[in-house]
A and B are shown apart, each in its own frame.
Chain A
Amino acid sequence: MELNQKIRSFIESQLVVFEDEAKFEDDDNIFEMGFVNSLFAMQLLEYIESEFSVTVDNDDLDIKNFSTVNNISALVNRKVG
């Protein structure tokens, strides 16, 4: 599965709104759209670390790195690369 699609699937599995309300593009800020609950950031971190076998360091913790599908994808590519 393409990286963006993989990340998108995970995000969609965690949304707290109904599918027809949860439309977002790969550049949309998922935190600002209110689609996720307070546990999401941590679940996302754990997903990234376990799914891609990388360690997210303190230096990576800029919320921008996790705010959109494209940004998460870029972070994973940096960590894996």
Chain B
Amino acid sequence: MSHILDLTQEERQAQIVAGAERFAEEQIGPRAREFDEAGVLADDLIQDMAARGYLTANLPTEYGGLGLDPVYYGLFQQAIGKADCATRTLITVHSALCGESLLRWGNEEQKELWLPRMAKGESLAAFALSEPNVGTDAKSVETCYRKVGDTYVLNGNKKWISFGDKADLFVVIAGNDQGQVSAFLVERDFPGVTTRPLKGMLAGRATHIAMIEFDNVEVPVANLVGKEGGGFKYVVSTALDHGRYSIAWAGVSIAQEAVDHMVSYARQRKQFGKRLAEFQLIKGLIADATTETHAARALCLKAGEMRKNKAQDAVMETTMAKYFASKVAMKVATDCVQVHGGNGCISDYPAERLFREAKMLEIIEGTSQIQQEIISGYALRKYSKACKR
């Protein structure tokens, strides 16, 4: 024990990430295809991760987390995501979206009750924002609430909720007839909560994506997160900012995994009596994929450093990292399929799964197009010579 206490914060965190890399490579990666095909993320893996503190690696140790700073938390997510996208999605939803929102906006009672449970895997949390009619325009949620005595009564439907069919705690975003949007902690076993898994997904097949229906669900006043009316501006913004950071690293992890498979296949596969890696056009694909993956990682690391230092533009750097890394993941995964040829189109090889998973990253936590809107708004102000007096 004493040798652990002797480590610097940096060394301690580096050790945790190194351990996560080994764990992911040995315990998660070999099961990724099984999870994808079965449409289930195994409970034994979730509990194993909980025992190692991996479910809330970003949260403070006082709440059972591992206390990783944003940079190491990013590297941690890269390790998990490289092995399996579904397992990384659990980390995104449970620890980044829900964990960080509760940590920032939950009151002491909520934090002391839920965060340790989330760390131990006794509770899995999901973030219920999107709806059948509401995606990018998230502040227009149709799920509604009204205050009745000491409770809030919720009605409505949520859609595309990752781990919605498995979580037992939901952070639910709903609006009232005054135009206020608020966030609530809703437990699965509250009367009136039902979930229905969504099948036929392009990707995220093992992420228990679900519809959630709230039918006159009575939520105690104590379960309001933050202030009434602060649901979108504060809770959702916080959650999505952390979500974007997580998805940025998800992009790097898919891209790197695709590079690994592309290179391995090109070194081994022979056509015309030569290895694929000997053909210049294949080398070009490998060179571009490697360079773009390194560039995406550098942007994520920069965003991580800025988040760690609470830099003013950290939110924007994170947005750019999410936009760029998800785009790189899609391109590199596409080229990985291309190098594999026919073998890239069948689940015997990981290329097709990486290709499917990469596409999702350009949609979730804000589409690439909404990121472009935000980034261009930032650039039009920041880089205008007329503004630089």
Which positions in A face B, CB cutoff 8 Å? 13-16, 18-19, 37-39, 41-43, 45-47, 49-50, 58-59, 61-63
Contacts and interface: CB of A to CB of B under 8 A. Distances in A.
12 contacts: A19-B387, A38-B138, A38-B237, A39-B316, A39-B319, A42-B237, A42-B241, A45-B234, A50-B312, A58-B107, A61-B230, A62-B229
Contacts, number: 58
Contacts of B229: 62-63
B49 to A, nearest CB: 29
What 10 pairs across the A-B complex have the smallest Cβ distances?
A41-B233, A42-B237, A16-B377, A61-B227, A61-B230, A50-B310, A39-B315, A43-B315, A58-B226, A61-B226
A19 B381 CA distance: 9
Given A13-B381, A47-B312, A41 B139 contact: no
B227 A42 contact: no
B78 interface: no
B374 interface: yes
Interface residues of B, number: 28
B58 interface: no
Interface in B73-118: 105, 107
B238 interface: yes
Contacts of B232: 38
A58 B224 CA distance: 11
A50 B237 CA distance: 18
Contact of A62 (B227, B315, B380, B381): B227
Contacts of A19: 386-387
A67 B319 CA distance: 24
B176 to A, nearest CB: 14
Nearest to B310: A50
A65 B387 CA distance: 28
Interface string B317-358: 001000000000000000000000000000000000000000
Give the interface centre of B312, B319, B386 by most chain A CB atoms within 10 Å.
B312
Contacts of A46: 310, 312, 314-315
A63 B230 contact: yes
B384 to A, nearest CB: 9
A71 to B, nearest CB: 14
Nearest to B374: A37
A66 B213 CA distance: 34
Contacts of A62: 227, 229
